[in-house]
Chain A
């Protein structure tokens, strides 16, 4: 399985500011995703991070709020823009490995005051 790291592991931010979360994988992967997990809730897919092209967003998520970069096959960033307390969540990146299995990073725990 792939080894996935995320930075930062947690952060506390003021409303109106932006935070960029990094996801690094130890091997090249084609498929990379970003999820949100609100407190005590399940995981919701935000977008698919496409290498070399714009991310594909799920219903309810827009590029202006969650811009994503994917400069190569091992790295991606998710920015949470113009944050409000409702953005307080765990943000997780995931990758698809062999046999379509999906592996998750450790997550970034974001608190917005």
Chain B
């Protein structure tokens, strides 16, 4: 089955700096890669996703890149703000199969 690894497990940045979280996956058949943000006491919220037919996707301060050859994808948050502080999870799946395989999570702290 699919194995998703995520690094780092914790990340602290100064407000206004950028944050990068990296994930690798093992199953070359995976073609859908969502990222979720989970705030304390809440369920995971989808913030961005990417499919294997593109290499990069951007939505305001958030971007995701995908390298299919190397089987890794990354989340980039620019101009970080204190409200970006949360746990971020990457995931991988085969579109249509709907079984998401999650990374272990990254706790991001943005220091004002």
Contacts and interface: CB of A to CB of B under 8 A. Distances in A.
Interface of A: 1, 4, 31, 33, 41-45, 48, 92, 96, 100-107, 109
A31 B43 contact: no
Contact of A100 (B41, B43, B96, B105): B96
Given A45-B100, A92-B43, A100 B89 contact: no
Interface size class for chain B? 20 to 34
30 contacts: A1-B46, A31-B98, A33-B98, A42-B102, A42-B105, A43-B89, A43-B100, A43-B102, A44-B102, A45-B99, A48-B98, A92-B43, A92-B44, A96-B98, A100-B32, A100-B95, A100-B98, A101-B34, A101-B46, A101-B49, A102-B34, A104-B36, A104-B43, A104-B44, A104-B45, A105-B43, A106-B42, A106-B43, A107-B43, A109-B41
Contact of A43 (B32, B44, B45, B96): B44
